[in-house]
Amino acid sequence: SVIDQTIFRLVEPKELLDKNWNSTEASKAPNLLLLRHRFNQLSFWVASCIVSCPSKVLLVRCFAFFVGVAKTLVKLKNYNST
């Protein structure tokens, strides 16, 4: 998505060195941490949508929808949003 691309473009090479994203100092990889946060938000939203379905029929439809979205994103070579 546009949001993911915007954040991804902010990541600097130094943020990828020495596992800076695991550092106690968040300032060493702020953009990478933001990208990870965005990924986690999206993953949580998808999981929440699926498990909050009130019936099995809706759950199956919801799951199938997200599988379809994931397949489309792979075709578009958008691997971050999948």
Q: How far apart are CA 38 and CA 80, in angstroms?
A: 10
The two three-digit tokens of residue 52, written as one number? 């909050």
Q: Are 49 and 66 in contact (CB under 8 A)?
A: yes
* pLDDT of the chain, 82 residues: tens digit per residue: 788 888 889 999 998 888 887 877 778 889 999 998 999 999 999 999 999 999 999 999 999 999 999 999 999 888 877 4
pLDDT at residue 22, rounded to an integer: 81
Give the pLDDT confidence score for residue 80 in this predicted structure.
76
Distances 21 to 18, 30, 72 between C-alpha atoms, Å: 8, 8, 30
**Two structure tokens written together for 18:** 């020495």
* Cα–Cα distance, 62 to 52 (Å, whole number): 10
